[in-house]
Structure 1
Amino acid sequence: MGTALVYHEDMTATRLLWDDPECEIECPERLTAALDGLRQRGLQQRCLCLSACEASEEELGLVHSPEYVALVQRTQTLDKEELQALSKQFDAVYFHPSTFHCARLAVGAALQLVDAVLTGAVHNGLALVRPPGHHSQKAAANGFCVFNNVAIAAKHAKQKYGLQRILIVDWDIHHGQGIQYIFDDDPSVLYFSWHRYEHGRFWPFLQESDSCAVGQGQGQGFTVNLPWNQVGMGNADYLAAFLHVLLPLAFEFDPELVLVSAGFDSAIGDPEGQMQATPECFAHLIQLLQVLAGGRICAVLEGGYHLESLSQSVCMMVQTLLGDPTPPLLGLMVPCQRFEDWRVGRGAEAAVRVTMLLPPIVPWSPSRVSRQPRPLTGQASNKVSMTWTWAGGSSLGFFVVNVTVTRLDVAPVLSPSTHLPEGRSLSLLAESSTCEVAEDTPSPLPGGLWLHPTPPVCTAVALAVPDAALALPPRVLHQEGSALREETEAWARPHKSLVKDEKGLAALGKILCLLGRILDGQVRSGIAATAACATAATLDVVIRRCLSHGAQRLLCVALGQLDRPLDLADDGRILWLNIRGKEAAVGSMFHISTPLPQTTGGFLSCILGLVLPLAYGFQPDMVLMALGPAYGLQNAQAALLAAVLRGPAGGRILALVEEESVLQLAKTLAQVLHGEAPPSLGPFLMASPEEIQALTCLKAQLEPRWKLLQVAAPPPGPCSPVA
């Protein structure tokens, strides 16, 4: 259905008319830089471009008071001195004679995008707007924001389309307190915000920006604040926040629409954020969100004040919304911040903040939240750890929201300038940063945007089934070719049963042909059928073929009764992850088995809390996903697994399915590998205590090697879930 880009050039009209160093960074060039980047990289041409229309006063009234709307309207007739005097009545705001027009266009763009997505005209999109909106409140402008674009869009979606569950993800580096205030008591909106906080010493300097603000009344538990108490957060930190905090809650909430307050002052180079997340990271974040709400995502621009970083981050996000593969994340996947056990704060500057304990007892009931202060052992009396005990739990059972330790002596990433000297690219990391980075890591933000080339064929299938029987999506190629028989027999020779099986040999020939096209870059991903009882032998052949082609890191996710090949070298080139009905086991840090959970919560715990942290930590060149005998997954579960595994390997996935199951799975897998959202998992069932215990014990053994697993706090006792 495509991606919408909503914009109007009139939104560049407002600019600061007097000297104000605080406000001068919110300039028209923010929009033109982003739009120029989209045009130069051919991304705008691939979108459905919509010209923004002004929101009506009635639509503004969904959030704002009539008196406030009238006040902003009067700015059209004020002179420079009057505008300056009015601006001083608000915090970090400037008005211009065109402010009312531009702010109405910004709201209108967000509403048009919601309409386009919810009517099915497009699948997702971006509203490229200014002024931003997430700080503005019912009767007040704030932080460059005049009308609250995203909040009005959420109210509009509820009123016009009857939506009952909307997720707002605010990744701007400033807390969107305006959105929080508006939905503070509304359980139909789950608001998640990460933001620079520094114990209340960073703008907007609000106590309600802290993690103890969880909503009020019926909305208690539907506000999730993750305050960063240090600068220098990078790709691994942002991924960890999504995998261990946001997504478990989001899956349980099961949103019908995802709204993104897309502020890119959280990207590398921005003087406001002083963070180190590269533009590529936002491609991965948006792809992770695409598995929610049927892929219905509306992103609305908020902040972002380093023009190059802003432009490249916007391009990365739009590229992913269009269905292109995500580019690789550079650098070590090691969170810079050190998450500590909630029971004890360690270090002179320890700022142990909050642990969310989500025991799997009854279905999630956020309205039943209790806050229990706990004194910290060995800490000053003013250091308090707050425990949120939810009557129920999310898919993870328990996890840390933001138990942080402040890192000292972290210098700004860049100078405060929002413009770069001509020909200069962004600085990589602060010289005094304590974040561990490989010495040979290339710059994550080169002068030119890294765009993953799109192969002529995105997804191909090698199946001995007619196209009509499969009903494959458009643009999915049904491959007819096969490798030469001599080549196929040579690769199959170690498996005598496969050589003697004509049907199995024919299937292997098709798979080798498809694999060759993936390895050569002609095809991005593929689905292939293996002969009955030949999946293990076929997978062994595929692994050896990939290694012979020069693959450096191969992730093998084997489901069902598939044992690891005995002669597979444990040299770090292959990460073998077997999900099956047997007990958890760690053969080595690259040979892992975990039981197949039987509940929705347990399955999500496994995927979000184990599989994806391992996959992102490993950074594979390619993913092999093999569904062997008794693999035990429902179609929706297999589709979700394939969808999330697209990210770590840039979309390079080969799924092997036994021919007996291929008719059930091929179409669904082809859709998600092609970029569509996976189907819903159905009713949410809490993870069982046994499932959580198995996962916890497994992660405890793996954490020393795989740092993205270290975000979850350990339970009080050895390998026992929190009671």
Structure 2
Amino acid sequence: MRTALVYHEDMTAAQLLWEDPECEIERPERLTAALERLRQWGLEQRCLQLAAREASEAELGLVHSPEYVSLLRGTQTLSTRELQALSGQYDAVYFHPSTFHCARLAVGAALQLVDAVLTGAVHNGLALVRPPGHHSQRAAANGFCVFNNVAIAAKYAKQRHGLHSVLYFSWHRYEHGHFWPYLRESDADAVGQGQGRGFTVNLPWNQVGMGNADYVAAFLHVLLPVAFEFDPELVLISAGFDSAIGDPEGQMRATPECFSHLTQLLQVLAGGRVCAVLEGGYHLESLSQSVCMVVKALLGDPALPLSGPMEPHHSALESIQSVRAAQTPHWTSLRQQGSTPILNPSTYSLERRASPVSPGGPKFKAAEAQASAALSSLLDQLHLNPTLPVRTAVALTALDAALVLPADVLRQEGSAPQEETRAWARLHEALAQDKALTALGKVLHLLNGILDGQVGAPGMGQGWP
């Protein structure tokens, strides 16, 4: 079996023992509802099921201080009153006598998944865990999170399996710094420090209501170009579903099938070695369906068509443009495209270039002529709405939309002029033909793989950093 599902029923033991409206949404039913839906859809049975192990204290120490680990160990013997008093010292956190055990299982599940993927026992997988981890700090619990499961997994992959550098990407509700946890370092211009500059990529959402088009646009214009250029050995997904429709924390509108598309796009990286680790998500119906969509994608099932309008919000485009501008000094793929292409398509050059695509690795040596012919054929079949400037500016108009959407989803009332569509095709061909743009060459290869059936396709923060 190529997909692992790592879980342990003991992770449902920790629960809130006093009244706290802020914390009550992080409850055991988050796991049980997701697991029940996986069983109803016949997905659990198709996975290699692994029982999570407890992480050792040495493994916890890869990220957390010895004093903090010792403090958490001590919660096992505290009274309810003592637990409540200790919880009050942190922001949006509660402790239970089982918290230390549950949190060690959550970390251990992530580490087991990394081991299974990097040793080749499975191709990919999901660790279904709680408590979540992405807000926790070296010496502090924070935002429902106790130990930083994915950060420990990344450090473990480097130490145990010899992996190298780490690229961190996060999208999150930010609202110009007015949304919790109000961190200045969550803005787009926070790109890392010292030798790590450019390896932290923050995409802040400055309004609620972001939907499928916004998340897909973020992938196509920021994450994928940078990720292909970075060329990771392993992909770790902090699979938070606060961004899913109906979630009370995120207040975003990504539908469950969107996470299937995003997962499929990530599977093109690192030879498909993808480890998803559950983080947030507090609307049980939306959470459970979204988890199933991720697992379906990991199993290789085709994704359902995306629903809703595929026109990104203007605020989303501004955020995407801000992060691209901040990251341009650090990434060739963004420099070659220019730092302000999203809201101003006229800054693109449509000039053809003669240099061929030369992506690395044997899987990416498909003939450029064949890929271009396939693209031209597909683009000629697309019928798109005539275009407001913002819609035209988003590469979902043609090539990029074709990466994730079947042609029947793109077919809408009205049609864009053939010459405009061909202009965008020439643009992307020109970009892909630049030797410096290995990243975009691989995206081109991905589309070619979809067209000839080699890559699965449909007909293809708050979370997902």
Deviations 1:494-553 (A, max 9, x none): xxxxxxxxxxxxxxxxxxxxxxxxxxxxxxxxxxxxxxxxxxxxxxxxxxxxxxxxxxxx
1:269 to 2:242 alignment: no
- Who is 2:336 aligned against? 397
Equivalent position to 2:322, from 336, 340, 354: 354
- Who is 2:419 aligned against? 588
Distance 1:244 1:396, change over 3 A: farther
Structure with a larger share of its residues in helix: 2
Unaligned runs of at least 5 residues, structure 1: 165-187, 342-350, 358-386, 405-556, 578-585, 609-636, 646-652, 656-668, 676-723
- Given that 2:433 and 2:441 are in contact with CA atoms closer than 8 Å, whether structure 1 keeps it comes out as no
- Who is 1:197 aligned against? 174
Deviations 1:564-622 (A, max 9, x none): 79xx999769x998xxxxxxxx74345555246433544644775xxxxxxxxxxxxxx
* Code of the aligned partner of 2:91: D
* Code of the aligned partner of 1:304: G
- Given that 2:303 and 2:457 are in contact with CA atoms closer than 8 Å, whether structure 1 keeps it comes out as no
* Code of the aligned partner of 2:60: L
Deviations 1:618-668 (A, max 9, x none): xxxxxxxxxxxxxxxxxxx64x2334x4xxxxxxx5x3xxxxxxxxxxxxx
Equivalent position to 2:270, from 293, 312, 317: 293
Distance 1:402 1:68, change over 3 A: farther
- Given that 2:263 and 2:298 are in contact with CA atoms closer than 8 Å, whether structure 1 keeps it comes out as yes
Deviations 1:339-378 (A, max 9, x none): 678xxxxxxxxx9983634xxxxxxxxxxxxxxxxxxxxx
* Code of the aligned partner of 2:322: V
* Code of the aligned partner of 1:75: T
Aligned-partner SS, 1:95: coil
Q: Distance in 2 between matches of 1:151 and 1:398?
A: 31
Within a 5 Å distance, the mapping from 1:637-676 to structure 2 comes to 638=445, 640-643=446-449, 645=450, 653=451, 655=452, 670=454, 672-673=455-456
Larger relative CO (CA 8 A, sep 6+): 1 or 2?
Answer: 2
Aligned-partner SS, 1:205: coil
Q: Distance in 2 between matches of 1:46 and 1:2?
A: 9
Q: Distance in 2 between matches of 1:340 and 1:285?
A: 18
TM-score, normalising length: structure 1? 0.52
Aligned-partner SS, 2:82: helix
Deviations 1:651-710 (A, max 9, x none): xx5x3xxxxxxxxxxxxx64x3599xxxxxxxxxxxxxxxxxxxxxxxxxxxxxxxxxxx
Q: Distance in 1 between matches of 2:218 and 2:138?
A: 30
- Given that 1:396 and 1:601 are in contact with CA atoms closer than 8 Å, whether structure 2 keeps it comes out as no
Q: Distance in 1 between matches of 2:101 and 2:17?
A: 17
Q: Distance in 1 between matches of 2:75 and 2:63?
A: 20
Aligned-partner SS, 1:397: helix
* Code of the aligned partner of 1:22: E
- Given that 2:191 and 2:327 are in contact with CA atoms closer than 8 Å, whether structure 1 keeps it comes out as no
Larger Rg: 1
Distance 1:222 1:355, change over 3 A: closer
* Code of the aligned partner of 1:93: V
- Given that 2:324 and 2:334 are in contact with CA atoms closer than 8 Å, whether structure 1 keeps it comes out as no
- Given that 2:221 and 2:320 are in contact with CA atoms closer than 8 Å, whether structure 1 keeps it comes out as no
Distance 1:48 1:562, change over 3 A: closer
Within a 5 Å distance, the mapping from 1:209-220 to structure 2 comes to 209-220=186-197
* Code of the aligned partner of 2:324: M
* Code of the aligned partner of 1:236: A
- Who is 2:36 aligned against? 36
- Given that 1:395 and 1:600 are in contact with CA atoms closer than 8 Å, whether structure 2 keeps it comes out as no
Q: Distance in 1 between matches of 2:98 and 2:128?
A: 17
Q: Distance in 2 between matches of 1:674 and 1:340?
A: 26
- Given that 1:200 and 1:207 are in contact with CA atoms closer than 8 Å, whether structure 2 keeps it comes out as yes
Within a 5 Å distance, the mapping from 1:43-442 to structure 2 comes to 43-164=43-164, 188-338=165-315, 354=322, 356-357=324-325, 390=329, 393-394=332-333, 397-398=336-337
- Who is 1:15 aligned against? 15
Aligned length: 399
Computed over aligned residues only, the root mean square deviation of the Cα atoms, in angstroms, reads: 3.0
Identity in percent: 68
- Given that 2:135 and 2:145 are in contact with CA atoms closer than 8 Å, whether structure 1 keeps it comes out as yes
Structure with a larger share of its residues in strand: 1
Deviations 1:62-121 (A, max 9, x none): 111111111000000000000000001111110000001000000000000000000000
